[in-house]
Amino acid sequence: MPAQAPAAGPPLADWLRMPRPEAEPGIWRCGYEPLPPEDPERTPARQLISGALVSFLMGWLVWSLLWNGYLGSYWLWPLLSLTPESWRTGNDSTALYSWASNIYYGLVLAVLAAVFGRVGHWDEVWRRIVARVRRRRAAERRRTPAAAPRTPPPPEADPAEWPELRAAGAPEAAERLAGEVRGGLMGDVDHARIERVWQSARGRTDRLPDFVQGVLRDGSAACVHPSGDRDLPTRAARHDLWLRQVRIGTAADHARNPQEYRGAGLALEPSLLGTSALAVGPPGSGKTSRLVRPVVESLCLQALARQAAVVAVTASGARLAPDDAFDAVVRLGSPDSVYDLDLYGGTDDPDEAAGMLAEALVGDLTETLPGGDSRRAATALAQLIGPFQAVHGRFPTVPELRELLDGAQSALGALRTALEGAGRRAQVRELDAYERQAGRPGDASALLADRIALLDRPAFADFFAPASAKSAPGGPGSQGTQQAKGAQKAPHRPFSLRALEHPLRVRVDLPERGHAEASRIFVRLLLAQFAECAVARADQSLFACLVLDDAAQAVTPQSLRSLQRLRSGHAGVLLTLRALDEVPAALRGPLLGAVGCRMVCAGVTPWDAEHFAEAWGTEWVQTRDVTNRQLVSDEPFTRLVHGVRRLATGKHVTAESVTVRHVQRERWSASDLANELPPGHAVVSLTTVRGERTPPVLARLGE
């Protein structure tokens, strides 16, 4: 949890009226003020200030010489010519001459200031000072959610008055909502939710009357989320639900950053997360607190607004977000968990179920599996669970599947007898094919049996049984054990990722303590099920996102192929890693290529930094090579002048030669990423689902 919650935002009406100009991808647009374009011929600040100081000293020296008469009195000739002699000699005219002299001296000073100011570019120095002050004030305004009250625009252009709803012929509903905005009864989640439902209903004549009636009846509570929640209990980040953005940091005012990003807020939104994201950094670098938590919080708010569905997988539990911020919390291996996990992803297709389960069990063993992926293992699983489903009408439980994979003749024989008795000749042939392959080189059954044994533990006894098996008394996975008082324990409620068509908020807590290998299987299982279920949704209007707070050993060849399919299904995945060493060496480059958004935090190793530097590539830059050569003269006077300058400066007199070239250089080198990033900073590159890309941007996280 953060040390303190962010400051309260402005009233809803002021928030709706805040400017949100078009900007580059990833820029926090709420109240954004674009900076003026950078002048390519701009003089460096140090050179500009030194030139202004030297010109001031020169002007002061000239004035001092004139005032003290070292340059004669010829500069007073205009004053003497334009004033009568009586003003200078008469006793009563001294005041007039003094007045005229002061005016003349002021004119001379103005001329000197204009000449030396032009030489020293004093006007440019002043403009830069003013621009710097304005930039600081703008940055201060960006860091504050509160905004000064704005003059309300005309009603037909005021978003707080719901002009589109009025134009659609529903002025009563618009007035009801506008009144709740003015009265402070509506929040940003309410506005986003009603706007979402309105956009869905505006083109449907059958839905519009129901929408209007619901607004007139319930006001800002219309079309509420099924949970009844209209906001999260706490917020730890800054959100703009109008654009569905969450602020994760501030781009540094640094020469490496593009001009339009310097000092601007950095934000994520579904159009960026839809290309999937990867963050790499050591523990304590801010991945969870400054990236994952704000993103999960934003997606939960969007789920309440009926815009998104989120599944967050973590081992840190409530540190990611409190329990009451979710609709369901699945605590695998915990007896207190209300929900369990469907091992087969809610599907009734044995081939699809076998593919997801095989990816979870042995997807990380690419070097030992035949073919280099889990497809052969998926075939073996399908040859078992398909016949089992044909007989029992359900998929096998974990103990039953383990028994079949171990090759127990009693289990295989009973299954064969049941198939023959039911006349399932096609399924008998599947079982025959499995038995012929068992024990041969390339058979994955032994690996599958070893991995499924990690799930066949007492801690997970109640978590993966099919629904029909749970209802059977005394069956495997049923809640038949009695508690101390003799009362039967309430069964867990199954959760399946097939529910992603609904605006759900789900958190899955992993049992890393004592079950580290099983936790990695769960992560791969959830990733495989999410990839299948998100793409197979009939209604893809909701943005679906899977957040893996620790994706160690979850990256496989099959999961990389799945990541690239998610963009077309309006879905994405956020992955975090402590180091790229947690990914097989052959998959590190493909992983960086499969995700559109990349973040490398301070403290990464040079080896990880090298992969990111290679992924970001090179760019054309202008280099200036300055060469100084000593000037040698044979003329006595020139040699004397050079000697005086050498005594004054302590350096030889040189001539400067400048060579300008255009060369290709790395955007961020591995050395810079590993050694130059300040603590709390990260380098971030983003890609939108439309294909727009940003260069890597240096940002301070959490501001």
**Predicted confidence (pLDDT) per residue in 462-497, tens digit:** 788 665 555 433 333 333 333 333 334 456 788 899
Please tell me the number of Cα atoms within 13 Å of 455 on its side-chain side: 29
Q: Is the pLDDT of residue 549 over 60?
A: yes
CB 247 within 8 A of CB 28: yes
Q: Is the confidence at residue 433, as pLDDT, over 70?
A: yes
Q: Nearest 5°: phi and psi at 120?
A: -90, 5
Q: Give the pLDDT band of residue 80 (cuts 50, 70, 90).
A: confident
Please give the mean pLDDT across all residues of the chain: 85
pLDDT at 371 (0 to 100): 63
**Considering the chain, what percentage of its residues have pLDDT values greater than 90?**
52
User: How many Cβ atoms sit within 10 Å of the Cβ of residue 671?
Assistant: 13
pLDDT tens digit sequence for 300-336:
999 999 999 999 999 877 678 889 999 999 999 888 8
Lowest-confidence region among 352-361, 397-406, 437-446: 437-446
pLDDT in tens, 557-584: 889 999 999 999 999 999 999 999 999 9
H helices within 121-230, ranges in order? Answer: 122-143, 163-167, 171-182, 188-201, 208-218
Mean pLDDT, residues 425-438 taken together: 90
Q: What is the pLDDT of residue 671?
A: 94
pLDDT of residue 537: 92
H or E, element range at 102: helix 94-120
Q: Given this model, what pLDDT does residue 488 score? A: 44
Confidence at 144, pLDDT banded by 50, 70, 90: low
Residue 490: its pLDDT value, please? 55
Both tokens of 45, joined, read: 């600040």
Which helix (H) or strand (E) segment is 61 a member of? helix 45-67
Cα torsion 643, 645, 650, 653: sign: negative
The predicted structure's pLDDT at residue 41: 57
How far, in Å, CA of 10 to CA of 8, rounded?
7
Is the pLDDT confidence value at 242 over 90?
yes
**What is the phi/psi pair of residue 35, to 5°?**
-80, 150
Question: Which one is predicted more confidently, 253 or 7?
Answer: 253
pLDDT at 6 over 60: no
Q: Are strands 571-577 and 308-314 parallel, antiparallel or unpaired?
A: unpaired
Give the amino acid at 5.
Answer: A
Q: In the predicted model, is pLDDT for residue 337 greater than 60?
A: yes
Q: Is the pLDDT of residue 682 over 90?
A: yes
Report d(CA 510, CA 334) in Å as an integer: 9
- Count of residues for the chain? 703
Give me the residue spans of the domains in the chain: 45-120, 152-224, 350-357+368-465
Give the distance, in angstroms, between the CA of residue 217 and the centroid of all CA atoms in the same chain: 38
514, 521, 564, 682 from 552: Cα distances, Å: 16, 11, 19, 20
DSSP state letters, 427-451: HHHHHHHHHHHTTSTT--HHHHHHH
What is the reported pLDDT for 142? 55
Cα dist. 679→133, 284, 319, 701, 702 in Å?
26, 10, 22, 10, 12
Looking at residue 75, what DSSP letter applies? G
Dist. CA 16–CA 30, nearest whole Å = 10
Quickly list DSSP for 581-606.
GGS-HHHHHHHHHH-SEEEEETT--H
Percentage of the chain with pLDDT > 70? Answer: 89
In the predicted model, is pLDDT for residue 203 greater than 80?
no
Which of 286-295, 437-446, 514-523 comes out lowest in average pLDDT?
A: 437-446
> Of 529, 480, 552, whose CA–CA distance to 359 is shortest?
529
Torsion of CA 168, 173, 178, 184, to 10 degrees: -150
Q: Higher-confidence residue: 40 or 256?
A: 256
pLDDT at res. 403: 93
State which H helix or E strand residue 361 sits in.
helix 350-362
Burial per residue of 115-133, b for 16 or more beta-carbon CB atoms within 10 angstroms, e otherwise: ebbeebbbeebeebeeeee
Q: What is the pLDDT of residue 43?
A: 67
Give the model's pLDDT for residue 148. Answer: 45
Q: How confident is the model at residue 1 (pLDDT cuts 50, 70, 90)?
A: very low
581-592 tens-digit pLDDT: 999 999 999 999
Of residues 33 and 429, more confidence is placed in 429
Among 228-232, 243-247, 466-470, which stretch is predicted with the lowest mean pLDDT?
466-470
| Mean pLDDT confidence for 69-95 | 74
CA distance 197 to 223: 7
pLDDT of residue 513: 78
Q: What confidence score (pLDDT) does residue 7 get?
A: 43
Please give the pLDDT value at position 98.
79
- Mean pLDDT calculated for residue range 503-522: 90
pLDDT reported for residue 31: 86
Report the pLDDT value the prediction gives residue 331, as an integer from 0 to 100: 92
Global pTM value: 0.82
For residue 679, is it left (φ>0), alpha (ψ between -120 and 50) or beta?
A: beta
- In angstroms and rounded to an integer, the radius of gyration of the C-alpha atoms of the chain is 36
Q: Is the pLDDT of residue 450 over 70?
A: yes
Is there a contact between 662 and 622 (Cβ–Cβ < 8 Å)?
A: yes
Work out the average pLDDT over 626-650.
75
Q: Which of 111-115, 193-197, 313-317, 318-322 has the highest mean pLDDT?
A: 193-197
pLDDT confidence of 206, banded at 50, 70, 90?
confident
What pLDDT is stored for residue 429 in this prediction?
Answer: 94
Kind and range of the H or E element at 412?
A: helix 409-421
Measure the CA–CA gap between 364 and 447, rounded to whole angstroms: 11
6-15, 151-160, 245-254, range with greatest mean pLDDT: 245-254
Alpha-carbon distance values, 83 to 69, 77, 79, 89, 517 (Å): 20, 10, 6, 11, 100
Please give the Cα distance from 194 to 10 (Å, whole number): 20
Largest distance between two CA atoms of the chain: 139
pLDDT in tens, 621-631: 777 788 877 87
Average pLDDT over residues 277-287: 94
Query: Alpha-carbon distance 700 to 201, whole Å?
Result: 41
Beta-carbon contacts of 84 under 8 Å, excluding residues fewer than 6 positions away, are none
Beta bridge partners of 629: 655
| Residue 233 to residues 180, 323, 451, 501, 512, Cα–Cα distance (Å) | 21, 10, 40, 24, 27
Three-state helix/strand/coil letters over 279-343: EECCCCCCHHHHHHHHHHHHHHHHHHCCCEEEEEEECCHHHCCCHHHCCEEEECCCCCCCEEECC
Residue 404 has pLDDT above 90, yes or no: yes
Q: Which residues, in sequence order, are bridge partners of residue 278? A: 575, 598
pLDDT of residue 477: 33
The encoded tokens of residue 444 equal 């994955």
User: What is the pLDDT, as a whole number, of residue 300?
Assistant: 97
3-state secondary structure (DSSP) of residue 626: strand
Give 672-699 as a DSSP string. Answer: HHHHTPPTTEEEEE-B-TTS-B---EEE
Query: 576: closest CA among 325, 282, 360?
Result: 282
Q: Is residue 208 over pLDDT 90?
A: no
Q: Give the per-residue pLDDT at 637.
A: 75
